[in-house]
Amino acid sequence: MPKKDKICVFLILLSIFNVYSLENNYYPLNKIISFLKLDTEYNSVTGSLLIKKNKKNVLITLNSSYLIFNNKKYFINDFVRSEQGQFFVPTKEALFIMKYFSPDKYEYYTKDGDIFFQEKKEDKNDKNIEEIYIDKENDNDSKKENLNNTKKLEINKDIKEKKVKIEAIIIDAGHGGKDPGAIGYDDIKEKDIVLRTAHLITEKLKEFYPDKKIIMTRSKDVFIELEDRASIANKIFQKYGTSIFISIHVNASRSQKTYGFETWYLVSNYSRKIIKKGEVSKDKDVENIVNSMLNDEIYKESKDFAKKIQNGLEKKIGNVSKNRGIKEEVYFVIKKAIMPAVLVEIGFNTNKYEAIRLTKYSYLNNISEGIFSGIRNFIDDYEKTQGFRK
């Protein structure tokens, strides 16, 4: 191959490996999988990703402090993390994985957290990567030898971790306009109660979080299709970043004795298409794994979100209303949202006494304070743990 063509190929390959990690000393595994054309298996129960080629395999488990190379543990100084449905490992370990699967073809090195490579020059003294990185008995000697052979390895350990935060909160008042929702005792309409409640929650959020985007899907008595509500939330997510979605509703029952509050989240086995085709990788298997991981993340986060909302309501109205718990369901308005999402039923307007309470400002304010408290607790935990990665 002419020298000019080799340079062009190198630059193209180099561009493929531009890092977009959650920190400069972390690297996304899907880049390695796609480039080296590795086979993969994802276990959503254990949160483990198995990457393999021929007789070699590496098992990576979310939040673990080790990698398993062909049944041999290799301990790392940090933890396996995830963000937006992708596994991330420290850049140093990413190098190990690359060398493990392609010990003869490329020479890898890092600089300022980025990974670079070039065609490897023939070196008769070059050891097999399995001997260098996996053999626990000779681990110290191996590290020294590797350090001598790869003087170009420089990983910036001083770069501060990028903070993860909730950028936007979407409050959805159910029904509206031509759709009154549930009509209960004394002709009390669901659409009116939830709109008042949504306004109260929004006011509290705007005051407490001046740096976040607080957006209502509807701020007045208008009708919005369910699909459009989810679309509004997803567009906000795409524009501002990590977001959460809360849909407010009032319940109804054939029995006038039924009352209480409950919070719903999406069932665990429902899989939505979260990433666009080719957005993460041209490799379909990688794309499916990332999509599956995102669904798992959103499910777990939504369940935790629901618990915190329910706990907040229990503290504010549990003395007069019934805590009906958190529940799973495939509600359209939350199944289309590509973020942590919950649907809150704040009471039954078909129950005379609860319906009357739902028309009182003081009671709706207590409800809004309970939901606001749940939102705060979720955001606090999410941001303190870097998106539940710590």
**pLDDT digits 0-9 by tens, 108-153:** 556 555 555 555 555 444 444 333 333 333 444 444 444 444 433 3
Give the residue-averaged pLDDT of 165-170.
94
Tell me whether residue 24 is in a domain. yes
Range of the domain at 359: 168-384
- What's residue 84's pLDDT? 67
Give the domain CATH number at 141: 3.30.457.10
Rounded mean pLDDT of the chain? Answer: 76
Euclidean distance between CA atoms 353 and 320, whole angstroms: 10
- What's residue 268's pLDDT? 53
* pTM beyond cutoff 0.75: no
Does residue 74 have a pLDDT over 80? no
The verdict on 197 and 90 lying in the same domain is no
Integer angstrom CA distances of residue 84 from 20, 291, 298:
12, 9, 10
Pairwise pLDDT comparison (192 vs 335), residue with the higher score: 192
* Radius of gyration of the CA atoms of the chain, in A: 26
Least confident residue range of 204-213, 237-246, 305-314:
237-246
Tell me whether residue 155 is in a domain. no
Question: Among the three residues 121, 149, 177, which one is the final residue of a domain in this structure?
Answer: 149
Of 22-36, 108-122, 287-301, highest mean pLDDT = 22-36
The verdict on 141 and 173 lying in the same domain is no
Integer angstrom CA distances of residue 318 from 89, 138, 366:
44, 61, 10
Give the domain CATH number at 223: 3.40.630.40
The verdict on 238 and 332 lying in the same domain is yes
Pairwise pLDDT comparison (293 vs 233), residue with the higher score: 233
- Residue whose pair of structure tokens reads 């990688």 in the numeric block: 286
The answer to whether the beta carbons of residues 168 and 236 sit under 8 Å apart is yes
The verdict on 228 and 141 lying in the same domain is no
The verdict on 127 and 200 lying in the same domain is no
Least confident residue range of 210-224, 299-313, 317-331:
317-331
Q: Is 229 helix (H, G, I), strand (E, B) or coil?
A: helix
Does residue 341 have a pLDDT over 80? yes
2: confidence class by pLDDT, cuts 50, 70, 90: low
The verdict on 254 and 281 lying in the same domain is yes
Tell me whether residue 161 is in a domain. no
Characterize the bridge pairing of strands 213-216 and 168-173.
parallel
Give the residue-averaged pLDDT of 296-300.
74
The verdict on 181 and 318 lying in the same domain is yes
Pairwise pLDDT comparison (147 vs 349), residue with the higher score: 349
The verdict on 294 and 375 lying in the same domain is yes
DSSP per-residue letters across 21-37: -SSTTEEEHHHHHHHHT
Tell me whether residue 154 is in a domain. no
Does residue 23 have a pLDDT over 50? no
The verdict on 229 and 289 lying in the same domain is yes
Count structural domains, the chain: 2
- What's residue 381's pLDDT? 94
The verdict on 104 and 198 lying in the same domain is no
The verdict on 293 and 353 lying in the same domain is yes
- Give the CA-trace dihedral at 206, 212, 217, 218, to 10 degrees: 20
The torsion region of residue 388 among left (phi > 0), alpha (psi -120 to 50) and beta comes to: left
- What's residue 27's pLDDT? 81
Per-residue b or e along 105-128, where b marks 16 or more CB atoms closer than 10 Å to that residue's CB: ebbbebeebbbebeeeeeeeeeee
386: confidence class by pLDDT, cuts 50, 70, 90: confident
- What's residue 79's pLDDT? 79
